[in-house]
Amino acid sequence: DIQMTQSPSSLSASVGDRVTITCRASQGIRNDLGWYQQKPGKAPKRLIYAASSLQSGVPSRFSGSGSGTEFTLTISSLQPEDFATYYCLQHNTYPRTFGQGTKVEIK
Amino acid sequence: EVQLLESGGGLVQPGGSLRLSCAASGLIFSNYAMSWVRQAPGKGLEWVSTVSGSGGDTYYADSVKGRFTISRDNSKNTLYLQMNSLRAEDTAVYYCAKGSVGGYGPDYWGQGTLVTVSS
């Protein structure tokens, strides 16, 4: 199985900060990775697909990069509505695997 | 607008069974793979199972293989998850999720249904 190691597990940041979250795959997954945002009590929402493509309707302050084994989600200027938990998901092989999640909290 | 509505969750005793349903609208249902993803209380997301658009191919997490069965009825635009031999560790919110064009992983998710396994 492919393991997805996501870091950090949590971070504190202020509105306007640049935030970076990383996912590392235990083996190469090309660009078969998505990033999801989840707020408490709500379903996940896809932000990025194919590692770097922005989901329709998602603000351009979100961006993704990477290929192979290392991937990054960047929020260029953190907004109040961005405080949430973020997950990566590899869809290269079965079983699909998520990262452990990164909780973004208000500093 | 794509809508996914799960139902069938509830309280069940260990060893019991439950069938979840996910009614889909706003899409050509048979065109898309569909998945179940769960989230235990206070925990992260765990992929459970995926079925192809035709229903001919199914995939399972090791943690549920042999106990859970995913299926779909394309004439009813409905996805199912039959869960047998339930364990306490199966307690979670279960989400159905729609696969996206190009196989890029799920794009739309339902709001989830809570399954609690307890005596």
DSSP conformation letters of B29-58: GGGS-EEEEEE-TT--EEEEEEE-TTS--E
Among the listed residues A82, A66, A67, the one whose alpha carbon sits nearest the alpha carbon of residue A18: A82
Helix and strand numbers, DSSP H then E, in chain B: 0, 11
The mean per-residue pLDDT over the stretch A64-69 comes to 98
In this predicted model, what pLDDT tens digit does every residue of A3-42 receive, in sequence order? 999 999 999 999 999 999 999 999 999 999 999 999 999 9
What rounded mean pLDDT belongs to chain B?
97
Query: Nearest CB to B105: which of A45, A49, A100?
Result: A49
> Are A94 and B59 inside 8 Å of each other by CB?
yes
Average pLDDT value for chain A: 97
- The strand ranges marked E within B54-112 are 58-60, 68-73, 78-83, 92-99, 106-109
> A82 vs A17, A38, B101, CA distance in Å?
11, 10, 27
Q: Has residue B98 got a pLDDT over 90? A: yes
- Nearest CB partner across the interface for B109, out of A43, A97, A100: A43
What is the number of other CB atoms lying within 10 angstroms of the CB of residue B90?
22
How distant is the Cα of B111 from the closest Cα of chain A, in angstroms? Answer: 5
Taking an 8 Å cut-off on Cβ atoms, the answer to whether A98 and B107 are in contact is no
| Proportion of chain B in helix, strand, coil states, percent, rounded to 5 | 10, 50, 40
Is the pLDDT at B103 greater than 90? The verdict is: no
Query: Mean per-residue pLDDT for B29-52?
Result: 97
| Shortest distance, CA A44 to any CA of chain B (angstroms) | 7
Helix, strand, coil fractions of chain A, as percent rounded to 5 = 5, 50, 50
Q: Is the pLDDT of residue B104 over 90?
A: no
DSSP state letters, A90-107:
E-SSSSPEE---EEEEE-
C-alpha B11/C-alpha B88 separation (Å) is 11
Q: Is the pLDDT assigned to residue A89 strictly greater than 90?
A: yes
pLDDT at A19: 97
Report the chain A residue with the minimal C-alpha distance to residue B101: A49
d(CA A96, CA B103): 12
Task: Show Cβ contacts of residue B101 under 8 Å, excluding neighbours closer than 6 positions.
Answer: none
pLDDT of A107 > 90? The answer is no
Quote the pLDDT of residue B102.
Answer: 79
Read off the pLDDT of residues B5-25 as tens digits, 9 standing for 90 and up.
999 999 999 999 999 999 999
Task: Supply the DSSP string of A73-91, one letter for each residue.
Answer: EEESS--GGG-SEEEEEE-
pLDDT grade, residue A73 (50/70/90)? very high
Using a pLDDT cut of 90, give the percent of chain B over it: 95
User: Is the pLDDT higher at A107 or at B70?
Assistant: B70
